[in-house]
Amino acid sequence: MVLTIYAPLFASSKRAVVTLIEKGLEFETVNVDLLKGEQRNPEYIAIQPFGKIPVLVDGDYKIFESRAIMRYIAEKYRSQGPDLLGKTVEERGQVEQWLDVEATSYHPPLLALTLNIVFAPLMGLVADEKVIKESEEKLGEVLDVYEAQLSKNEYLAGDFVSLADLAHLPFTEYLVGPIGKANMIKDRKHVSAWWDKISNRPAWKEVSEKFALPI
Amino acid sequence: MVLTIYAPLFASSKRAVVTLIEKGLEFETVNVDLLKGEQRNPEYIAIQPFGKIPVLVDGDYKIFESRAIMRYIAEKYRSQGPDLLGKTVEERGQVEQWLDVEATSYHPPLLALTLNIVFAPLMGLVADEKVIKESEEKLGEVLDVYEAQLSKNEYLAGDFVSLADLAHLPFTEYLVGPIGKANMIKDRKHVSAWWDKISNRPAWKEVSEKFALPI
């Protein structure tokens, strides 16, 4: 069955892409250029009605939302590659907990930083300095909790790598790169060690090489 | 093993509470009064380091994030009550997709409406009319996609009730109640039929009766 992922160059999609590569799966890609607004084309809306990325097509099955795609891949191909969901119901609970922390606490301020610092200048928009300041504060508070958690466990959900860790990769790459706030990671000893470990995984290196940031 | 849920009166927690009741589980509750800022007390922060609600304690196991708690309950007690995760990997994928749509597209504008219309006056704050207008527009666009989806399927993830549907209950109760925008649901035929169906489930009626809105 052919696996096809839409918009692999953009950060949200890379949550799905890195999961496919961790699992050793072959896949095809279809580019969708957000900077040109292609996600609002009628052909794309027919595939993803919210006009968001990514979408995974697996034969005649279709799924969207990056973290849902991660879970689907990790569950369907559970027996190959690392088990990214934990081994027990309790471990999976912790994976789900930190996946949701990423989605609801870590990602929103980091997305605001990405849009205001990286994308606004590209699109001729003025960055909102108040939003930047508030987002950096919020993200810092979240990272303080991560620092405590990662002082007790090697990875977020425990002593095993999981989807919860991988979900952080794409936008944290913006944070330590074009956003220019690598110190938020580096100044926290356990967060920094965790970041080094997950961002040096072969699967993520392959994502970074094959699907460079679009800007 | 005793199950204990924190802050059952508040909307986010009710995602967990309704799941416990759907599964026919006995549980104890601990109140946390957000209006008094009790979620920032050191004793609570020791349990939930982000100072957010809810938390589920299951014997010596602890989990937070409302949608992660839902998944944990639905998986641990899969064989009792309705199977809220779907029966196959593909069905679960659709459940995960719509759970994530709720978390990332439906909830943020609805939370903004709740905070500005319901909570701001209570806390002596001025509602932000621009945020209210933009949030209503965004939520309306999301509901238009729901209308199309629910014209094809009885429930969000297919023709079976799932966590994806239940996750919508607590804040939609604000929308049709104290927010005063029931028309956003009623004016969309299939969304309205879906809302009637899920909000009339015995488990949700029990939540509404036993854990009335705190305001």
Three-state DSSP at A33 gives coil
| pLDDT value for A35 | 86
Mutating which of A57, A97, A98, A130 best tests the B interface, going by the most B Cβ atoms within 10 A?
A97
Reference A56, options A81, A23, A79, A84; nearest CA is: A23
pLDDT digits (tens, 9 = 90+) for A126-176: 999 999 999 999 999 999 999 999 999 999 999 999 999 999 999 999 999
8 Å CB contact of A93 and B61: yes
All residues of chain B having their beta carbon less than 8 Å from the beta carbon of residue A100 are: 65-68, 103
Helix %, strand %, coil % of chain B (to 5): 60, 10, 35
Mutating which of B78, B87, B89 best tests the A interface, going by the most A Cβ atoms within 10 A?
B89
| B153 and A CB contact within 8 Å | no
| pLDDT value for B192 | 98
Which chain B residue's Cα is nearest to A54?
B97
- Reading the block at residue A176, the tokens are 């330590």
| pLDDT value for A20 | 98
Cα–Cα distance for residue pair B39/B52, rounded to 1 Å: 6
| pLDDT value for B24 | 97
| A14 and B CB contact within 8 Å | no
| B130 and A CB contact within 8 Å | no
Regions in chain B scoring below 70 on pLDDT? 214-215
| pLDDT value for A214 | 62
E strand residue ranges, B59-194: 61-64
- Reading the block at residue A102, the tokens are 């990423």
Local confidence band at A212 (pLDDT 50, 70, 90 cut-offs): confident
| B104 and A CB contact within 8 Å | yes
Q: Is the pTM of this model over 0.90?
A: yes
Give the mean pLDDT of chain A. 96
| B15 and A CB contact within 8 Å | no
8 Å CB contact of A50 and B90: no
Do the Cβ atoms of A106 and A139 come closer than 8 Å? yes
8 Å CB contact of A72 and B96: yes
**What ipTM does the predicted assembly reach?**
0.96
8 Å CB contact of B103 and A103: yes
Amino acid letter, B2: V
8 Å CB contact of A72 and B50: no
